[in-house]
Amino acid sequence: MLVCPKCQFENPDDNRFCQKCGTSLTECACESCGAMVPFGTEFCPTCQAPFGDVWLAIVQATDGTVPKQVETDKAASSVKPSTVSSSSSLATRKDKDSVDPLCSEPGKGVTIDASAASTSSPAKEVSYGYLDRQQRYRLLDALSEEQVATTGASVRVLDCQPLRPSQLDLLAQTQDFGEPEEAGLPEFLQLPAIALDYLELEPPLSPALPMLQDAWEENGRTVLLLENRQFLLPLQHLWEKWEVEPFQAIHLFHQIADLWIELQPRGYAASVLQTENLKSDEDQLLYLQRLYADRAESPANLQALGVFWAQLIESQPKLAETIVLVQLCKDLQSETISTPNLLRSRLKSIAMELQEAPGTLDESIIEEEEEEEDTSPLSNEELGSDDTTADLRPPHLKLVTKQAQTRVPGADMALSNSPTMLDLVALEDEEDEDEMDLELDGDGDDVPTIVLPMNVVSVDDAGRTDVGRQREHNEDYFHIQTDIKKCESVSSRQVQVKGLYILCDGMGGHASGEVASEMAAKTLCQYVDEHWEEEELPSESTLRNAVFAANKAIFDQNQKNESSGSGRMGTTLVMLLIRDKQAAIAHVGDSRLYRYTRRMGLEQVTVDHEVGQREIHRGVEPAIAYARPDAYQLTQALGPRGEQFVNPDVQFLDFNEDALFLLCSDGLTDNNLLNRHCESHVEPLLSSQANLEQGVNALISLANEYNGHDNITVILVRVKLRPNLSQPKPQ
More confident residue, 405 or 596: 596
Task: Compute the average pLDDT of residues 68-95.
Answer: 32
Q: How far, in whole angstroms, is CA 709 from its chain's centroid?
A: 30
Closest CA to 161 of 14, 31, 21, 56: 14
Work out the number of other CB atoms within 10 angstroms of the CB of residue 481. Answer: 14
Alpha-carbon gap, residue 686 to 661, rounded angstroms: 9
Task: Compute the average pLDDT of residues 452-456.
Answer: 74
Alpha-carbon gap, residue 478 to 491, rounded angstroms: 38
At 48, the amino acid letter reads Q
What is the percent of the chain with per-residue pLDDT over 70, rounded to a whole number? 73
Beta bridge partners of 137: 159
Please say if the pLDDT value at position 201 is more than 50.
yes
pLDDT at position 311 is 92
> What CATH number does the domain located at 233-385 have?
1.10.510
Alpha-carbon gap, residue 502 to 339, rounded angstroms: 51
Please say if the pLDDT value at position 613 is more than 80.
yes
Work out the number of other CB atoms within 10 angstroms of the CB of residue 46. Answer: 14
Task: Compute the average pLDDT of residues 12-18.
Answer: 89
pLDDT at position 159 is 92
More confident residue, 20 or 547: 547
Q: How confident is the model at residue 170 (pLDDT cuts 50, 70, 90)?
A: confident
* Rounded (5°) CA angle 189-193-194: 120
Task: Compute the average pLDDT of residues 418-427.
Answer: 32
Helices 323-333 and 246-263: angle between axes, nearest 10 degrees: 20
pLDDT at position 627 is 87
Q: Which residues contact 491 (CB under 8 A, 6 or more apart)?
A: 245, 725, 726
Residue 130 to residues 41, 88, 89, 141: CA-CA distances in angstroms? 14, 13, 11, 10
More confident residue, 70 or 486: 486
Task: Compute the average pLDDT of residues 516-524.
Answer: 95
What stretch of H or E contains 223? Answer: strand 221-227
Q: Which residues contact 206 (CB under 8 A, 6 or more apart)?
A: 399, 400, 401, 402
**221-227: strand order across its sheet:** 137-139, 153-159, 54-61, 221-227, 212-218
Work out the number of other CB atoms within 10 angstroms of the CB of residue 689. Answer: 9
Q: Where are the beta strands (DSSP E) in 378-471?
A: 454-466
Ordered DSSP codes for 444-473? GGGS-SS---EEEEEEEEEEEEE--SS-SS
pLDDT at position 302 is 92
Alpha-carbon gap, residue 202 to 403, rounded angstroms: 12
Alpha-carbon gap, residue 292 to 307, rounded angstroms: 18
DSSP-H helix ranges across 150-190: 167-172
Please say if the pLDDT value at position 636 is more than 50.
yes
Please say if the pLDDT value at position 130 is more than 60.
yes
Task: Compute the average pLDDT of residues 264-274.
Answer: 92
Please say if the pLDDT value at position 415 is more than 80.
no
* Rounded (5°) CA angle 97-198-337: 130
pLDDT at position 173 is 66
Three-state DSSP class for residue 176: coil
Whether 235 and 222 have beta carbons less than 8 Å apart is answered as no
Q: How confident is the model at residue 116 (pLDDT cuts 50, 70, 90)?
A: very low
Q: Tens of pLDDT along 175-195? A: 544 444 444 444 555 678 888
Task: Compute the average pLDDT of residues 633-659.
Answer: 91
pLDDT at position 635 is 92
Instruction: Work out the mean pLDDT of the chain and round it to a whole number.
Output: 75
Classify domain 454-723 at the CATH class level.
alpha beta
Q: Tens of pLDDT along 36-54? A: 999 989 899 999 988 889 9
Q: How confident is the model at residue 407 (pLDDT cuts 50, 70, 90)?
A: very low
Q: Tens of pLDDT along 473-512? A: 899 999 999 998 888 766 567 788 999 999 999 985 555 7
Alpha-carbon gap, residue 195 to 684, rounded angstroms: 26
More confident residue, 85 or 576: 576
Task: Compute the average pLDDT of residues 81-91.
Answer: 31
Alpha-carbon gap, residue 366 to 360, rounded angstroms: 12
Three-state DSSP class for residue 524: helix
**712-723: strand order across its sheet:** 454-466, 712-723, 659-664, 592-597, 601-604
More confident residue, 149 or 523: 523
pLDDT at position 516 is 92
Task: Compute the average pLDDT of residues 47-70.
Answer: 73
Q: How confident is the model at residue 356 (pLDDT cuts 50, 70, 90)?
A: low
What's the farthest any 2 CA atoms get from each other in the chain? 92
Alpha-carbon gap, residue 37 to 18, rounded angstroms: 17
Task: Compute the average pLDDT of residues 665-679.
Answer: 91
Domains of the chain, residue spans: 53-227, 233-385, 454-723
Beta bridge partners of 28: 37
Alpha-carbon gap, residue 210 to 203, rounded angstroms: 11
Please say if the pLDDT value at position 72 is more than 90.
no
Q: Where are the beta strands (DSSP E) in 81-180?
A: 137-139, 153-159
Q: How confident is the model at residue 355 (pLDDT cuts 50, 70, 90)?
A: low
Q: Where are the beta strands (DSSP E) in 634-697?
A: 649-654, 659-664
At 150, the amino acid letter reads T
Please say if the pLDDT value at position 364 is more than 50.
no
At 633, give phi and psi (nearest 5°): -75, 135
pLDDT at position 453 is 66
Q: Tens of pLDDT along 540-594? A: 999 999 999 999 999 999 888 877 776 789 999 999 999 988 999 999 999 999 9
Q: How confident is the model at residue 245 (pLDDT cuts 50, 70, 90)?
A: confident
Helices 193-205 and 246-263: angle between axes, nearest 10 degrees: 130
